[in-house]
Chains A and B, each alone.
Chain A
Amino acid sequence: MNQTRLRLSIIGVVVIAVFSAMFARLWYLQIAQGSEYVAQAESNSYRTLQEAPLRGRILDVKGKVLADSRIANVITIDRGIDPEQQKIVVGRLSELLAVPSKTLESRLADQRVSPYAPVPVAVDVPIEALTFVSEHSEDFPGVNAEPMAIRRYPNGSLASHLLGYTGEINEDELAARPTSAKYGLGEDIGKEGIELTYESTLRGTPGKEEFQVDASGNVLRSVRRVAPKVGHDVQLTIDLDIQRVAESALADAMASARTRRDITRADKFINLKAGAGSVVVIDVTDGSVVALASNPTFDPNEFINGIPTVRWKALNDPVNNYPLLDRAIAGQYAPGSTFKLVTAVAGLRSGMITPNSTVEDTGKYKISEQTFTNSNSEPFGRISLQRALTVSSDVYFYTIGGSLWSKQRRNESGGDVIQETARLYGFGRATGIALPNEAAGRVPDSAWKQRIHDARPDAFPYPDWLPGDNVQLAVGQGDSLATPLQIAMAYQAFASGGRLSTPRLVSRILDSKGRLNRENPAVEVGRVPVPGRDTMLAGFGGVVGSSTGTAFGAFGSYPQTPPSVGGKTGTAQVAGKQNTSLFVGFTPIQNPRYVVSVVVEEGGYGAETAAPIARAIFEALNGLPVGPVASLAYEGGN
């Protein structure tokens, strides 16, 4: 019996131990660690859903809508459902919406929509279909019908490069934005253009709604809701009417150029390619951008809800000349004769020339056993600065470049006055326009040449700044590179009497009720010297108005009554390519209000393709009827 008691006691001890363990664990979970589990339970039963705000609009200077958002009825499919079910659902939707299954499937397979976000497969669904889907939800698992904000660009491809487009945020963009911005997966973000640079203004403030949910994630009730705030409107300095004229003139002239022979070719059997070009229109008074066009172009509406892969590839295909590239700010070209503005100012500043001093132009210029010629070696005789600009004498500017090189050679100061002046006028660095991916261009000098030689001696065997380098620089050839916007801003600085500005693209920010939120004032970067301005303006006027002017033919139809125009043609040679056609001008000559800069790649002479485009834009700027635009036969001069 004693033994039984002993054995029973052992069992009793085991039972006491087991119960003690349970009490101890219970104490640990509920008292010692309790607060952690309370927090866990809290987060378990509440979900916060972020509501994306309605994006602000982009307006032109007169308030015309360039981009807005509308609410559309969208049907989405959750990728999480199993493939068998998905197939059935797609089949049912296809029948309901009268859209082929293949279309729905290809949207569903779109890799650019994040795997977590429901994929929008149909936009602008008729209300009957929406009702049907929501009433038969058990037949459409994973399908949601919801109102969704859809970005809209009512003018299609018009101003597409500067507007940019929006798209679903990707992981890099998510990581780049501060956490405080609270971007959610699947949310749209500005990808290019103003949509990107003014993202934080346009986006608005996301709202959120807190729900209590059950274990399966089913929403039981809404606990708290903070409504999203609509984004601000961004009003641009762009004038949609001028923009439209600029784009169509550019497109027309390019199309016309493609039908004409490249007359610089010995065989003359090859047409001009004229595959790309751009236009910049600047308001001289404050540096505001009136128009900014680039061709080829694209329709930003294509990017809404994900652009089809085929289209994305096409937009990035070299054969199509990279339509997404904004050439007005990112295209870099030898400025050619348009650069003579800088060389002339440099010559005057350094005292090398005066407004009245003359040069004997024999059509040829010789320095260090090297001979440089005018276009077609045409001699202009004894010419002054004004006439040199009008007829576009190269020899006149070669002489300045050559003499300055000699100065450098003698180690005298002021030998690099062309480069110095170019930099003063804004070349060689980004202008700071409120657009992404602006190019800086290049102002070549001896230090630059030494640098590239050191980096790649095999590709650049000559480390020295040679006379030819300085002579070429003087006429905007050689290694000079400038963007159409830089050229425009340099002429704006000159035309305004010396105020170099940052191009102003946004005039003001408005709140969602149309009230002014803030002005975006013009920014003056600094003053530039404008010696001999009147003489040069007369020279630029002659380019258009004088029968010997290089663009006289192109402006033949332009009325010679005020407001008059002036400008400068440019024909830049590019190794392995046809000439770049350039024109930059302003109106009116005496007190310029607008600067227009046009560049057409492989467009031939400046007077051939670029000048007629500028003419049409001047007509529009001055309220004149806009005549037809066509590439013209070359009449001499560059």
Chain B
Amino acid sequence: MATIAPVSTVMSNRKARFQSSPFRHLDPFLIIPVLIMNVLSLVMIYSSTKGKATLRGEAAFGDPFYYVKRQALFVMLGLIIMAVTILIDYRRLREWALGIYLLTVAMLAFVLTPLGSSVNGSQARFALGPFAIQPSEFAKFSVILMAAAYAAVHRGDMDVRRVLVVLGIAAIPLALVMLQPDLGTALVIGTIIIAVLGVAGVKARHLAVLALIGVTGAVVAINVGVLEQYQVDRLTAFLDQNGDTQRSTYNLEQSKTAIGNGGLTGQGLFKGTQTSLGHVPEQHTDFIFTAVGEELGFLGAALLLSLFGLVVWRSWRTAAVSNDFFGALLCVGVVAMFSFQVFENVGMTMGIMPITGIPLPFLSYGGSSAFVSFACVGLVANVSMRRFS
């Protein structure tokens, strides 16, 4: 007995420590789908970029793994960022919210200066060594954090002034993003803020007025012709610098053809003709879903959508079970962000949403998008596992 007791004591101590640790509540249904999606991402990026290795003048010339290697690096960094986001108690982030927010706004302003670089007609990034930072991606995270931090304080008491403050929090980065111009990210920020406002307890009539202003604004913009012209420019600018509207419908046709070509079980990995022959533009970034659709078919694409559904569901559930309102609002922001981005991105490849440049979280090639997506998942996992403490 004597020999057994210390052991059992150690055991129970460990168990006790584990039971008291928030990591005990780390949600596997949130993290595992994300890991699967990132593995899938590397495979699909390889499939859609391996052909570039034969094209003179391409950055990937001579190296079919060029984009895969870079993305693998982004995923590594993203995992670290997620770990850091999980480790720091989200309640402390609340204190840092304003600082992070102001830093992001500063970066958004900076990118518009001549120091930022213009790609495909959009002044959206600045160089950092061999990589390009896209502050608009980080703006999504900052807006979630800032809006949740502010609204949580005034829970259940969202008067007009406070609603305007929340709108203002979104409006500053949104305006800067529109100046780039980047319609897609602006729409994401708009969706995030509406969801956060909604859950934060904005009065129904305020929401109605907001909707009215929004619709009126849209009608005026279209009639004046500003938005229409802008949209056309935007649609074509990110796809093809020499593009015209005919070119963008061509792209949409190619995108739908690639997905349709997948059928039930797909053409097989690396065997999609639309994918391997480069018919779909921007396929490793905004149109990565077409590669999944063509090569893995309905089964693969539906599985991918289900993984997104799982992440969104776990985030929504975390919002529902969170033990404080700040945590709940953070999760609502993440739900809104992921849902809208997946819907807009997948929807545009299938022709049910207009074409705007939004990456598919965890799937599209790109560092900034990966970092922010990991950070957001980290945020949800953070809230989720600390719901008992």
Give A contacts to B, CB under 8 Å: 3-5, 7-8, 10-12, 14-15, 18-19, 21-23, 25-27, 29-31, 33-38, 40-42, 44-45, 212-216, 220
Contact = CB atoms under 8 A, between A and B. Distances in A.
A14 B264 CA distance: 27
Given A19-B309, A23-B305, A8 B352 contact: no
Nearest to A28: B350
A15 B335 contact: yes
Given A3-B201, A215-B280, 13 more contacts: A18-B339, A21-B347, A25-B347, A29-B259, A30-B260, A30-B262, A30-B263, A31-B264, A34-B262, A37-B260, A42-B273, A44-B277, A44-B279
Interface string B307-339: 011001000100110000100100010011001
Interface in B159-192: none
A40 B195 CA distance: 40
Given A33-B260, A41-B257, A11 B278 contact: no
A37 to B, nearest CB: 2
Nearest to A24: B352
B199 A11 contact: yes
Given A22-B346, A23-B305, A31-B263, A5 B277 contact: no
A215 B305 contact: no
Nearest to A38: B261
B82 to A, nearest CB: 22
A11 B334 CA distance: 12
Contact of A212 (B156, B277, B332, B342): B277
Contacts of A19: 305, 308-309, 312, 339, 343
Given A4-B201, A4-B328, A37 B257 contact: yes
Nearest to B201: A3
Contact of B277 (A3, A15, A214): A214
B274 A45 contact: yes
A14 B198 CA distance: 13
A11 B332 contact: yes
A36 B278 contact: no
B297 interface: yes
A556 B297 CA distance: 95
Contacts of B269: none
Give the most central of A15, A42, A214, A216: most B CB within 10 Å: A15
B302 interface: yes
Among A10, A21, A213, the most chain B Cβ lie within 10 Å of the Cβ of A21
Given A31-B263, A40-B261, A45-B277, A25 B336 contact: no
Contact of B198 (A11, A34, A38): A11
Contacts of B261: 34, 37-38, 40-41
16 contacts: A3-B201, A4-B201, A5-B320, A19-B305, A22-B346, A29-B260, A31-B298, A34-B263, A37-B257, A37-B260, A40-B260, A44-B254, A44-B257, A45-B273, A214-B279, A215-B280
A221 to B, nearest CB: 11
B51 interface: yes
A15 B316 contact: yes
B256 interface: yes
Contact of A37 (B256, B277, B312): B256
Given A11-B316, A29-B256, A34-B263, A44 B350 contact: no
A18 B343 contact: yes
Interface majority SS (helix, strand, loop, mixed), chain B: helix
A34 B199 contact: no
- For chain B, give the interface size range: 35 or more
Interface in B270-301: 273-274, 277-280, 293-294, 297-298, 301
B357 to A, nearest CB: 19
A22 B360 CA distance: 14
Contacts of B193: none
A295 to B, nearest CB: 56
A215 B293 contact: no
B124 interface: no
A218 to B, nearest CB: 9
A26 B302 contact: yes
B160 to A, nearest CB: 19
Contacts of A23: 302, 305
Interface in B36-70: 51
User: Max chain B CB contacts within 10 Å: which of A7, A8, A34, A42?
Assistant: A8
B62 to A, nearest CB: 17
Contacts of A220: 277
A81 to B, nearest CB: 14
Contact of B259 (A8, A11, A30): A30
B301 A10 contact: no
B111 to A, nearest CB: 30
Contacts of B264: 30-31, 34
Query: Which 6 A-B pairs rank lowest in CB-CB distance, beginning with the nearest?
Result: A37-B260, A41-B261, A45-B273, A30-B298, A215-B278, A215-B279
Given A11-B332, A15-B312, A215 B277 contact: yes
A102 B231 CA distance: 46
B186 to A, nearest CB: 19
A38 B273 CA distance: 10
Q: Which of A4, A30, A212, A214 has the most CB of B within 10 A?
A: A30
Contacts of A33: 260
B258 interface: yes
Contacts of A22: 305, 342-343, 346-347, 350
A36 B257 CA distance: 9
A215 B287 CA distance: 15
A26 B305 contact: yes
A34 to B, nearest CB: 4
B279 A45 contact: yes
Contacts of A4: 199, 201, 325, 328
B199 A7 contact: yes
Contacts of A8: 199, 316, 319-320, 328, 332
A191 B5 CA distance: 109
A510 B141 CA distance: 81
Contacts of A21: 343, 347, 352
B198 A29 contact: no
Nearest to B305: A22
Contact of A38 (B253, B256, B260): B260
Contact of B293 (A11, A15, A30): A30
A31 B301 CA distance: 12
A108 to B, nearest CB: 24
A598 B260 CA distance: 73
A4 B329 CA distance: 10
Nearest to A27: B298
Given A23-B302, A33-B260, A7 B198 contact: yes
A3 B325 CA distance: 13
A216 B277 CA distance: 9
Nearest to A26: B301
A19 B343 CA distance: 7
A597 to B, nearest CB: 63
A41 B274 contact: yes
Nearest to B278: A215
Nearest to A213: B277
A18 B352 CA distance: 11
Interface in B346-362: 346-347, 350-352
A15 B339 contact: yes
A12 B316 CA distance: 7
Nearest to A46: B273
B379 to A, nearest CB: 17
A7 B201 contact: yes
Contacts of B309: 19
